Amino acid sequence: MKSISTLPLLLSSFLISTLISNSAFSADSEITETSPEASQEIVKEILPLPLNELRKFTDIFGKIKNDYVEEIDDATLLKYAIRGMLSGLDPHSAYLEPSAFTDLRENTSGSFGGLGIEVGMENGFVKVIAPIDDTPAQKGGIEAGDLIIKLDDALVKGMSLDESVNTMRGEIGTTIKLTIVRTGEREPLEISLVRDTIQVTSVKTVPLDEHYGYIRITQFQVQTGSDFAKGLEKLNKEIDELSGLIIDLRNNPGGVLQASVKVADQLLEEGLIVYTQGRSSISELSFSATPGDSAKGMPIIVLIDGGSASASEILAGALQDHDRAVIMGTQSFGKGSVQNVLALDETHGLKLTTARYFTPSGRSIQAQGIIPDIEVNRAKLSDEKKGAFFREADLAGHLSNDNGNEQPEEKDETNSEEDKKRAMLERDFQLQEALNLLKAIDILNISKGTPEKESMSKVSQDTQVSQDTNAAQDTAPQNKKQK
């Protein structure tokens, strides 16, 4: 047991060496450099070490080493101890083993293998934060909020998040069966997905009609800021007179902090975008907008839901606080913490929560999320089936119209781009309501001559949008419960 008795000293050296690193990679930011002086300051903050607690740890370490039913080596025991220490902090702090750095960089670069799900842990089960667009998960029907309880025949309960993620990864083309529990469903659902290479397109654009554009941001990656600028430029070319914009952040799990800041900067003339606060001075950051609004003050509607997290909430919160956009949809996820990744060696790292995000007005996003200005829940709408109506032309002896043509023009049933846009709006009630609101703002601007930015502020604060009878039962203003 001599080796065990000297463990507190060895652990002290281990902790110091792991905290002194030359670089840090944040899960919600680009790679940043940490100076040796800053690293030494971190070490000073944790010293002196609590020797009594370390002795207790070594006693337990020795007991496991000697009495556990199976022989286990020191390195494995220490690895388990580190994992447990970090998992007890919060759901986002973690010990990153060899594949972790690669995974982080893949997730922010836009290309990786797997099912295409952003996940977290909840009560020992894997919870879906959001499926990524155009991936096996999204195409297979996985939804934000789903609770994964089994992977193939293996129960998730008892697995770590890393173990669950590794199980879901695998050779491209192979199949995995997910058993999920979903709100509103009595029985667990079984969904089989085929693993594939996930190529995430961060920005997609669609002209909704002759005056309004739609930009979908699926995830904030390193290049999302420039992709957004290109998307806005593309819409301006495709639409002769772009009068309004819908930015869709639904099921966007976040990503790179600087990317969301760059998008917000393109839409704001000035002012604070986001700031962070933590215990250490190096975790305190602040980002502000530079002059220039790429959207030229046009009305903007931002769509959010429970799958909108982290960087998505930063963008939505900044635009909401500056009265630059009307936020529509449902309350966002509430992931308002910052994770920094310290390199321990060439293959291992430490992902540690170091700060909280705050919107320009000082609101913390953490566990609260962004509350929309206008709450609109998801709904399914369909047109009534055409009945057997009789018209004047069906009556015997009816008068002619003197136009020389009594036959109504036949509609072209070809699957045109207009048909696809119409189908997209029919499937998506929230998007439909966002477009209706944009049109209403446009009408108000034309009739009153109100500057667009001032009109947006007025609508978000005071205006209640009237909706048709079908829509009324599925939507409600902020702070009112659904019936």
DSSP 220: B
Token pair belonging to 94? 């973690």
Q: Is 321 a catalytic residue?
A: yes
pLDDT of residue 9: 43
The residues with which 196 forms a beta bridge, in sequence order, are 114
pLDDT of residue 171: 82
Identify the active-site residue in 146, 321, 428, 474. Answer: 321
pLDDT of residue 471: 37
Please report, as a single letter, which amino acid is at residue 476: A
pLDDT of residue 158: 85
Contact residues for 304 (Cβ-Cβ < 8 A; gap 6+): 249, 250, 312, 313, 316, 327, 328, 329, 330, 331, 332, 370, 372
Identify the active-site residue in 127, 335, 351, 453. Answer: 335
Q: Report the distance separating Cα 312 and Cα 292, nearest Å.
A: 21
Collect the ranges in the chain with pLDDT lower than 70: 1-47, 99-113, 380-390, 402-416, 448-483
Task: Taking each helix axis as running N to C, give the angle between helix 7-19 and helix 36-46, from 0 to 180 degrees, rounded to the nearest 10.
Answer: 140
pTM over 0.85: no
C-alpha 421 chain-centroid distance: 24
Q: Is 184 left (phi over 0), alpha (psi -120 to 50) or beta?
A: left
Identify the active-site residue in 26, 243, 310, 337. Answer: 310
The answer to whether the CB of 446 falls within 8 A of the CB of 418 is no
Domains of the chain: 2-96 (no CATH), 111-199 (2.30.42.10)
**In the block, which residue shows the tokens 């995000």?**
357
336: nearest Cα among 101, 141, 142, 90 = 90
Question: Alpha helices, DSSP H only, in 47-160?
Answer: 51-67, 74-87, 100-109, 136-139
Q: Phi and psi for 74 in degrees, rounded to 5?
A: -60, -45
Q: Report the distance separating Cα 475 and Cα 381, nearest Å.
A: 13
Percent over 70 (pLDDT), the chain: 74
Q: Report the distance separating Cα 307 and Cα 128, nearest Å.
A: 8
Token pair belonging to 117? 């799900």
pLDDT of residue 245: 97
